[in-house]
Amino acid sequence: MSKVIEEAVEEIVENLLTDTDLELVAVDYVREKDWYLRVFIDKEGGIEIDDCQALSGRLEEILDERDIIKGSYILEVSSPGLDRELKKPKDFQREKGKTVDVSLFAPVDGNKLIVGVLKDYDGENITIDEQTISMADVAQVRLHIDF
């Protein structure tokens, strides 16, 4: 059910962002204490609060009109943050050459976390520095934040 809602909202947001400089990063519909519909957007140079407010208002109107989500939920429109998760092929292509944190399901050479430069991604494998890793072994890839 969550996946169906996420896909429907993703389509709506993509249409709303046509002919803008904004990019849809991800849509998450999750239950914590309450249900949350989180929409993450970005643009070159970063987004501003006005970008989030404008999209939130337009999206809320369409969601209410189409009644896609039954019951109550909290809508959040925001930036994916500095340590954004890379999920889609375009995320990996855009972030090539940047340092990433790769979390693995099981240790490889004794490590479940690999930090290195994203060199390549072909949908099935990711290359970090000189090491190629199957995406089947990857739990998550995030941009690395160096403090």
pLDDT band (50, 70, 90) for residue 81: confident
1 versus 75: which is more confidently predicted?
75
Is residue 50 left, alpha or beta, with left meaning phi > 0 and alpha meaning psi from -120 to 50?
Answer: alpha
pLDDT band (50, 70, 90) for residue 82: confident
Output the six-digit token pair for 63: 């969601």
Distances (CA, A) of 113 to 94, 105, 129, 144: 22, 9, 14, 11
State the first-to-last Cα distance of the chain, in angstroms, to the nearest integer: 39
Above 80 in pLDDT, residue 17? yes
Measured between alpha carbons, how far is 45 from 19 in angstroms, rounded to an integer?
17
Domain boundaries defined on the chain: 2-78, 89-143
* Residue-level pLDDT at 60: 96
Map tokens 């501003």 to a residue: 48
SS3 16: helix
Q: Classify 89-143 by CATH class.
A: mainly beta
Q: What is the pLDDT of residues 21-51, one digit of tens each?
A: 999 999 999 999 999 999 999 998 889 999 9
Looking at domain 2-78, its CATH architecture is: 2-Layer Sandwich (3.30)
pTM of the model: 0.78
Helices 49-66 and 2-17: angle between axes, nearest 10 degrees? 120
pLDDT band (50, 70, 90) for residue 2: confident
Above 90 in pLDDT, residue 83? no
Mean pLDDT of the chain: 93
